């Protein structure tokens, strides 16, 4: 792993590229705190939206081989970990324009500079 100064510089460089050159505006919706109200029978959730940029792409063969749950129509969203400081979960959503995607899985790189978040419409 590179030295701490090198990692910090790498994280900032990735954030800059995503934010200014290749990224698309998305909303990452963190879904937490599922609660059941016995009097109404309703299951409620708490949602927290994070506005950030992501590089969107189709999943590739390597992604599908590494994660058997992915299919050719799924998307990968590459985001800077400086922008998304929480760890994704399978309850979360990504909103891009009128489209909403459900988070399936995610991984990070060795320097922990970015997430690759896999999602399905």
The whole model's pTM is what?
0.85
pLDDT in tens, 20-43: 999 999 999 999 877 888 888 888
State how far the Cα of 18 lies from the Cα of 54, in Å rounded to an integer.
6
98: Cα within 13 Å, side-chain hemisphere: 0
CATH number, position 25: 2.40.10.270
Q: What is the pLDDT of residues 42-82, one digit of tens each?
A: 888 889 999 999 999 999 898 888 888 899 999 999 999 99
**Secondary structure letter of residue 72 according to DSSP:** T
Structural domain boundaries, residue 57: 4-120
Tell me how many domains the chain contains.
1
């Amino acid at each position: 792993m590179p030295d701490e100064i090198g990692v910090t510089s790498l994280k900032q460089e990735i954030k800059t590229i995503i934010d200014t050159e290749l990224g698309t505006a998305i909303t990452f919706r963190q879904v937490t705190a599922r609660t059941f109200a016995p009097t109404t029978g309703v299951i409620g959730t708490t949602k927290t939206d994070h506005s950030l940029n992501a590089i969107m792409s189709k999943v590739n063969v390597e992604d599908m081989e590494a994660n058997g749950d992915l299919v050719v129509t799924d998307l990968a969203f590459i985001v800077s970990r400086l922008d998304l400081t929480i760890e994704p979960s399978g309850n979360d959503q990504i909103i891009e324009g009128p489209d909403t995607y459900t988070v399936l899985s995610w991984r990070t790189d060795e320097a922990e500079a970015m997430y690759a978040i896999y999602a399905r419409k």
